[in-house]
Amino acid sequence: MPVLKADLAACQGYANCVVAADDVYDIDDDGLVVLLRSEVEESDRTRVETAARSCPVSALWLEDA
């Protein structure tokens, strides 16, 4: 099962990921991404990966476990 990762030092709070998959990503009070899940079902992989790729600073990615 793919594992969702975030580089919080790179995150700038654009929230493109939240717009694309608000059940997986959120933004905290400091403007940083919050991962609402760490593992992604294969059935959700394309949608979650597309949301991660929408990050303008490439702060999000999936790794195969």
> How confident is the model at residue 65, as a pLDDT?
78
> How confident is the model at residue 46, as a pLDDT?
96
The correct CATH number of 2-64 out of 3.40.50.720, 3.40.190.10, 3.30.70.20, 1.10.10.10 is 3.30.70.20
Dump the DSSP string for 4-49: EEE-TTT-----HHHHH-TTTEEE-TTS-EEES-SB--GGGHHHHH
Full pLDDT tens readout for the chain, 65 residues? 999 999 999 999 999 999 999 999 999 999 999 999 999 999 999 999 999 999 999 999 999 97
CB under 8 Å to 62, separation ≥6 — which residues? 2, 3, 4, 5, 40, 45, 48, 49, 52
Whole-model pTM: value is 0.92
CB under 8 Å to 9, separation ≥6 — which residues? none
Sorted by where each begins, the domain ranges of the chain are 2-64
Tokens representing 36 are 């609402």
